[in-house]
């Protein structure tokens, strides 16, 4: 069974008691200015979605309501788990709790998400795995990817993955015997698709901030690939507005240091890892049975 919950997601709204659960004045507000050397897509998004200078009050309001939406989701998941246990199904059930993406909820003065954003607030999402076949609860700090979920399920069920599945099982990672040094992501649209989608927008759709951003600033949806280690993140963009963040000293990704000469060796190593990932995951699909390729 797959259960999709709409929260947390724009529009930012939730009923009481969750709406007032978090104090707007005392929450630790996220940085709401753009990073140093920010690529233009961030400023384009900000201009359309929240304006050049959204007020701190408004951004705190969004953040507090976002927290309330998350808490409401936690409550609902708790009810579900309690019912599974009450029915005596817990020892015969695998449970995976995760999300397809995070959100801007005030970071950089932005809202929602964007398909070419590779910031951790978008990419770093919850992942809780329960299986009767795994040992007692443990917190795992290894890097992981969504593509790891399918191989993990298959291994726990004793099934063999079919050809073409990316990712690796997390069972060894959960057991503490294996960790990933790098994780990867990509997004955005090819040039032909950008032109095709822009031509199809209706006037009503353009009243939505996300579609308006796409229409007014199509370069913001140009193809992008990311490689991330524990310490560094490199984002390579088709339009050349690349990004490099030292996550150890800059966890909020406020200093794009791609242009710093002293980081040339780091960039070279991350680019090599990214190329290797592309070589490993690029496919020849669809599979042609006649030629076995």
Series of mean pLDDT values for 10-residue runs along the chain (293 residues): 89 96 93 93 91 90 96 96 96 94 94 94 93 83 93 93 84 86 94 89 88 91 96 95 97 97 98 95 72 63
> What is the token pair recorded at 138?
């443990």
Whether a cis peptide bond, with omega within 30° of 0, leads into 8 is yes
User: 3-state DSSP call for residue 277?
Assistant: helix
Closest CA to 76 of 14, 150, 129, 153: 14
Confidence at residue 6, expressed as pLDDT on a 0 to 100 scale: 87
Tell me whether strands 127-130 and 111-112 are parallel, antiparallel or unpaired.
unpaired
Confidence at residue 175, expressed as pLDDT on a 0 to 100 scale: 83
Confidence at residue 289, expressed as pLDDT on a 0 to 100 scale: 73
Question: Residues 208, 220: contact at Cβ < 8 Å?
Answer: no
Q: pTM here?
A: 0.91
Distances in Å between the Cα of 159 and the Cα atoms of 11, 131, 138, 200 are: 40, 15, 24, 43
User: 3-state DSSP call for residue 83?
Assistant: helix
Rounded-to-integer distance, Cα 256 and Cα 119, Å: 11
Confidence at residue 286, expressed as pLDDT on a 0 to 100 scale: 66
Eight-class DSSP state of 222: B
Question: Residues 186, 225: contact at Cβ < 8 Å?
Answer: yes
Rounded-to-integer distance, Cα 261 and Cα 244, Å: 12
Tell me how far the alpha carbon of residue 70 is from its chain's centroid: 16
User: What domains are there in the chain, each with its CATH number?
Assistant: 7-133 (no CATH), 144-180 (no CATH), 183-188+223-281 (3.30.1120.10), 189-221 (no CATH)
Burial class (CB within 10 angstroms; exposed 0-12, middle 13-18, buried 19+) of 62: buried
């Amino acid at each position: 069974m797959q259960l999709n919950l709409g929260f947390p997601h724009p529009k930012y709204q939730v009923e009481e008691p969750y709406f007032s659960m978090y104090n707007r004045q005392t929450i630790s507000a996220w940085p709401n200015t753009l990073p140093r050397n920010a690529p233009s897509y961030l400023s384009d998004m900000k201009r359309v979605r929240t304006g050049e200078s959204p007020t701190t009050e408004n951004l705190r309001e969004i953040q507090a309501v976002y927290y309330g939406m998350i808490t409401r989701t936690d409550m609902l998941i708790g009810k579900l788990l309690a019912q599974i246990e009450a029915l005596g199904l817990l020892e015969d059930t695998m449970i995976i709790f995760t999300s397809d993406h995070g959100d801007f909820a005030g970071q950089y003065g932005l809202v929602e998400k964007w398909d070419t954003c590779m910031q951790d607030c978008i990419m770093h999402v919850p992942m809780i795995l329960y299986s009767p076949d795994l040992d007692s609860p443990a917190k795992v700090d290894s890097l992981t990817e969504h593509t790891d979920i399918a191989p993990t399920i298959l291994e726990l069920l004793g099934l063999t993955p079919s050809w073409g599945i990316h990712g690796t099982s997390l069972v060894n990672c959960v057991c503490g015997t294996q960790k990933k040094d790098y994780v990867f992501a990509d997004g955005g649209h090819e040039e032909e698709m950008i032109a095709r989608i822009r031509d199809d927008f209706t006037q009503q759709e353009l009243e939505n901030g996300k579609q308006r951003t796409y229409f007014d600033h199509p370069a913001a949806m140009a193809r992008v690939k990311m490689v991330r280690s524990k310490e560094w993140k490199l984002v390579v963009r088709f339009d050349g507005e690349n990004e490099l963040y030292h996550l150890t000293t800059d966890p909020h990704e406020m200093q794009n240091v791609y242009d710093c000469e002293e980081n040339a060796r780091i960039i070279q190593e991350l680019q090599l890892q990214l190329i290797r990932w592309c070589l490993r995951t690029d496919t020849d699909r669809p599979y042609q049975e006649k030629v076995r390729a």
